[in-house]
Structure 1
C-alpha cells in the first residue's frame, strides 16, 4: 500500500522517467526483502514488517552495512540511501509516519574518478566506416543510437524518450526531456540529420503493426528498452576499445570531453548536457588537464 502510493507519486505527480521509477521501485523492493529476511537479526520467525513506522534508523544502517559487504560501490549505496530518504520524506509529508528513520543516515564518501571516455577519432572513424553498420533497418538504427549518444551527449533515458516529432529537421535541432522534466533543445549536425532522415524512412517502410511514435524501436517495432541500448553500445564500442566500461554514458562523457578539448566553454557544455549546475560539468576539466599533461610529457624536452 505505502510503496504503491509512493510509486504513483513519483510517476504521476513528480513525473519521473520510467527508468528512474523502475530504479526506485527496485531499491525499495530490495530493502523490504532485507527487512523481512528470517536470517536478519531481530526478525522473529514469521514476522513481517508491514507499516513503515516499524522501520528504524538501525534497520537502514544495517542494510547499508550489508550492501557495503556485498562490495557495492559507494555511489550505488548512496543512490539506494537517497531512494529511502525520498520514500520516508514522502511518507512523513503524507502523515503516514511520525518520524523519518532515514534522517540520520550519512552518505558514503565517493572517491574522485575521471569520466571514462573513448578516443573520439577512433569513434568517428568507426561511424564513417560503411562496412561496420548494415544498410538495413537494424544496422541503421544501431548506427543512429551511437551517433545520437556521441553527437548530442544525451542520457540513456532521454534517448529512449525521444519521439519522431521531437526532431526538427528544418531547424536542425532535437527536443529532449531531461531530469526533473526539464526540456532542452540540442543542435544536431548535418550527418546526424541525414542519418535520421534515412532511419525514419526505413522505419516507415517496415510497416510495423503498432506504428510506435517513439524514435528508437526494436526490430519488431516495440519501444526500445535500456538493456537493448546497452547491448548495442557494448557491441560496437568493443571494436575500438578494450576498456571494461563501454556503456551509453561513456559516449556522453566522450561528447563533453571532445567539446572541451576543442575549445567549447564550460557553460555551453553545461546547457547541452542538461546539468542543473556547473559543478557537475567541471569534472570534465580534469580529463582535459590530464590530456595536457600527457601532451607535455610527450613533447617537452624537460618532461
Structure 2
C-alpha cells in the first residue's frame, strides 16, 4: 500500500489539513529510512514491534524529546490503523505500545502590559506592512484564532455589519467569533493600504504580502516574534502564545470555560483546560491580596 493512498485517505476522508498530512508522511518516511538503513527493507507493513522499538531507542539516543517521539509513533500508528482498514495487515504492531512519559508543558502567556506595549507603542502605522502587522497582532489577541486560520481568512469572512468573522478551523469546521470595535478601525486602515498595492494576485484573501500574494505561516511567525521579542522577556514569542494569552486573559476576567472552548474551536473541554493554570494563579494573587484574614 503506497503512502499516496494513505495521504489521500487523511485529506479526503479524515479532512486533515495538508500541513498535518505532510507531517504524518514525513514521520513514516523517517521510519522507512531507519528500516532501510538497519534492516535492508522499506516495507513498513511487514515489521513487528521489535523493529519499531529499535527505532524508538535510536530516536532516544539522538536526544529527541519524548514528546516528538510520541508524535512520530502516533503517525505510524495511524498508518497501521489505515492498513488494517484496507486489510493490508492483520495485526497492528503498535496495539499494545505505551507512549513515553512527558512532563506537563506550561507555556506562559504574554502579560496584558506586554500586549499594551506592542499594540499601543511598538508599531507606528505609516504604510501597508505596518498596518497589516498591527491588525494581525490585534486579531490574534482579540479572537484567539490559530495561525493557519488567520492565513486562510478571506475578505468575505469579515462581517463588519454584525461585528464578527467566520473562521474555518480543523476538519473544516466553521465557527463565528465576535469582533471588538478597535478591530473594525484597524481593519479599515489596513484595507485602505491594501487597496493601494500595485498588484494583488490573491484577491479573495484578507492578509497579503506586499507583492500581493497570500501571506504565509513563517512570515506570520516572524511578525509576532519581531515585536514581542522586544517587548517581552519570554523565550518563545509566537502566534500560539498570543492564542494562549487570549484564553488566559478571558479566564482571568471570569469568562466561562465552555464559551472559551467554542471561541478557540476546541472539540473537547479538556483541550481548553490547559489554560486554567494561569487563571488559577491569578485568582490566588487576588485571594491573597483581598481576603480579610490576609489583611495585616
Same fold (TM over 0.5): yes
**Given that residues 205 and 214 in structure 2 are in contact (C-alpha distance below 8 angstroms), is that contact kept between their aligned partners in structure 1?**
yes
Partner of 1:64: 56
Structure 1 position 95, deviation (Å)? 2.0
Of 105, 118, 122, which residue of structure 2 is paired with 1:113?
105
Partner of 1:33: 33
5+ residue gaps, structure 1, are: none
Distance in 1 (CA, whole Å) between partners of 2:4 and 2:283 is 51
**Given that residues 45 and 80 in structure 2 are in contact (C-alpha distance below 8 angstroms), is that contact kept between their aligned partners in structure 1?**
no
Partner of 2:195: 204
Structure 1 position 227, deviation (Å)? 1.5
Structure 1 position 148, deviation (Å)? 1.5
Of 213, 220, 236, which residue of structure 2 is paired with 1:245?
236
**Given that residues 114 and 287 in structure 1 are in contact (C-alpha distance below 8 angstroms), is that contact kept between their aligned partners in structure 2?**
no
Partner of 2:129: 138
**Given that residues 159 and 165 in structure 2 are in contact (C-alpha distance below 8 angstroms), is that contact kept between their aligned partners in structure 1?**
yes
Partner of 1:214: 205
Structure 1 position 276, deviation (Å)? 1.0
Matched, 1:158 2:149: yes
Matched, 1:268 2:259: yes
Matched, 1:48 2:44: no
Structure 1 position 154, deviation (Å)? 0.8
TM-score by length of 2: 0.90
Distance in 2 (CA, whole Å) between partners of 1:34 and 1:224 is 36
**Given that residues 202 and 214 in structure 2 are in contact (C-alpha distance below 8 angstroms), is that contact kept between their aligned partners in structure 1?**
no
Of 56, 72, 75, which residue of structure 2 is paired with 1:80?
72
How many residues matched?
294
From the two aligned structures, give the one with the greater helix fraction: 2
Distance in 1 (CA, whole Å) between partners of 2:3 and 2:129 is 39
**Given that residues 115 and 283 in structure 1 are in contact (C-alpha distance below 8 angstroms), is that contact kept between their aligned partners in structure 2?**
no
Structure 1 position 134, deviation (Å)? 3.9
Structure 1 position 302, deviation (Å)? 7.5
- Give the 3 Å change call, closer, same or farther, for CA 9–98 of structure 1 in structure 2: same
Of 110, 114, 119, which residue of structure 2 is paired with 1:127?
119
Partner of 2:160: 169
Distance in 2 (CA, whole Å) between partners of 1:253 and 1:82 is 25
